[in-house]
Amino acid sequence: MSHIHIEVKDLSFSYGQDRKILDRISFTAREKDAIGIIGANGAGKSTLLKLLVGLLDGFEGSIRVEEIPVEKRTLQRVREKIGYVFQDADNQLFSVNVYDDVAFGPRNYGLPEEEVDRRVRKALARVHLEGFDEKPVHRLSGGEKKLVSIATILSMTPDILLMDEPSAALDPRNRRNLIRILGEFDHLKILTSHDLDFIWDTCSRVLVLHQGGILYDGDPDTILRDEKTLAMVGLELPLSLTVR
Amino acid sequence: MSRISGAIHEMQTIEESASRDQWVNRLHPLVKFLVTLFYLVCVVSCGRYDLPRVLGLALYPFVLFELTDLPLGQALCRLRLVLPLVCIVGIFNPLLDRRPGAELLGFTLTLGLLSMLTLMAKGILTVLASYLLVATTPVEGLCAAMRMVHIPRMIVVEFLLIWRYLSLFMNEVQKTTEAYRLRAPGQKGIAMKYWGSLMGSMLLRSIDRAGEVYEAMCLRGFTGDFPSGRFPGAGRRDLVYLAGFGAGILFLRLFPVLVLIGSIVAR
């Protein structure tokens, strides 16, 4: 059995006094898992990802990342292990050119400039954006921005990759490219998406969030063919399964 | 291009110009920061009627514009919002102080006029010098330089975040005004009654986005410090720049070059 990377136990969270977004959910994620989290809008998918990296506090229960409890004093250690790709690449990229943005993380960890340079080139090569290093970020297309935002995370060599709606606003070619890149990342990855075809192509396990809890935790083949359950949580069959 | 798009474009152009691969861009940011700071002190410390000395100090930005290939006209155009404000300072001085101060080509210049022109020149030169610094140094370099001279971390981080926030806010303004224009064709500007709600939503959205940008920075190890690895110690070229331009500026500050040249010509 492979090593447990993330352990969530009885996790509850609500924004202010509102209803609980997450209500006593528990699950574990192992080293090579590729987990897709699906659910309707407002089901708590993005909230769950933000909780895992400590962007939200004030939760009940416990989250452990590689045995480290997620709390204020451990955030830096936790974040060294997890890479988080935001839904909107524009919010993730803030430097003038691609090189500086991809180098931002390694530099903050105090790596020597030669190592930073090696990591930047390797990360850009992994997303097939060699030669983009001097390009101004604001001149990139939406797909290129998404790939650069993944490179900014890969340059930090994380053990775990979290991605919030990675396929949103990607054209078919960039989407295929992203599926290939995710396939090459052989560590734990957790994605949230409404794009069930994308989940089908990239994940080996699916969690369905519904009314604050986990309605289903298992293989994608079963749940993504289950029209009734999907309809109950406000989703539809993947397009590739839809009979026209 | 709308005015907002133009402003965003200009900001991006300045940032791009700061990351060009030119000798002045490659200089250590601390050296450029110190030279600029020294220049600003020299300009500001000139006497209120000491116009010739201030004009002599104009050599520094002009030489630098020439050496860096940055177009002076474009810089003046970009600073068109600030320069009128700078020029307004002291505009009433000629009315308040009519004592004779100097003679130029047979005309008597009053002390009020001299002090107004000196203030204007000081304002323009300080703005141009700051522009040169920003246009040749990436904002991270500037922040690292500020930390190296022990400017408190809180102020430096504030400066960095305001810089980032400005462009996000302008993007939100652009999106909102475009959405408004598309649904109000033929209307000139934004109707007064919508300003409150539009401003509110633009602020809230840009604050949200700024929050995400800050989170993205924190997730990649940003703690408010600027790693020095990217800017190793100053090299010989940096020291030559520091010594050369420092000495030049000091010379211009100590000796009114224009007066010296004038007296030589007059002889």
Check residue B199 and give its pLDDT.
Answer: 87
DSSP string computed for B107-142? EEEEHHHHHHHHHHHHHHHHHHHHHHHHHHS-HHHH
Closest residue in A to B223 (Cα) is A108
CB under 8 A, 24+ apart: contacts of B101-107: B101/B49
Tens digit of pLDDT for each residue in B253-265?
998 888 788 778 7
Min Cα separation B17/chain A (Å): 10
Residue B201, domain member (yes or no): no
Tens digit of pLDDT for each residue in B34-47?
999 999 999 999 99
Q: Quick check: A232 contacting B, CB < 8 Å?
A: no
Q: Nearest Cα to B138, choosing from B7, B20, B236, B222?
A: B20
CA dist A60 and A12 (Å) reads 5
Residue B117, domain member (yes or no): yes
Cβ–Cβ gap A136/B16 under 8 Å: yes
Cβ–Cβ gap A156/B212 under 8 Å: no
Check residue B87 and give its pLDDT.
Answer: 73
* Whether pLDDT at B209 is above 70: yes
Residue B229, domain member (yes or no): no
List, as ranges, residues 210-229 from B with C-beta within 8 Å of A: 212-213, 215-223, 227, 229
Check residue B32 and give its pLDDT.
Answer: 95
Tens digit of pLDDT for each residue in A57-86?
889 999 999 999 999 999 989 998 999 999
Residue B143, domain member (yes or no): no
pLDDT category at A231 given cuts 50, 70, 90 is very high
Task: Identify which of A80, A113, A136 has the shortest CB distance to residue B229.
Answer: A113
Check residue A243 and give its pLDDT.
Answer: 57
pLDDT category at B202 given cuts 50, 70, 90 is confident
Closest residue in A to B137 (Cα) is A96
Check residue B225 and give its pLDDT.
Answer: 76
A74-78, A197-201, B14-18: range with lowest mean pLDDT:
B14-18
CA dist A111 and A114 (Å) reads 8
Residue B111, domain member (yes or no): yes
Residue B206, domain member (yes or no): no
Residue range(s) defining the domain that contains residue B47: 20-137+235-267
Q: What is the pTM of this model?
A: 0.80
Higher pLDDT, A120 or B265: A120
Residue B240, domain member (yes or no): yes
Q: What is the ipTM of this complex?
A: 0.83
Q: What is the mean pLDDT of residues A214-224?
A: 93
Closest residue in A to B11 (Cα) is A96
Residue B219, domain member (yes or no): no
* Whether pLDDT at A12 is above 90: yes
Check residue A3 and give its pLDDT.
Answer: 79
Check residue B79 and give its pLDDT.
Answer: 77
Min Cα separation B70/chain A (Å): 18
Domain count for chain B, please give it: 1
Tens digit of pLDDT for each residue in B116-155?
999 989 988 999 999 999 999 988 889 989 988 999 988 9
Cβ–Cβ gap B219/A113 under 8 Å: no
pLDDT category at B228 given cuts 50, 70, 90 is low
pLDDT category at A1 given cuts 50, 70, 90 is low
A34-38, A56-60, A167-171, A190-194: range with lowest mean pLDDT:
A167-171
Main-chain dihedrals φ then ψ at residue A209, nearest 5 degrees: -95, 135
Task: Identify which of A80, A86, A97 has the shortest CB distance to residue B212.
Answer: A86
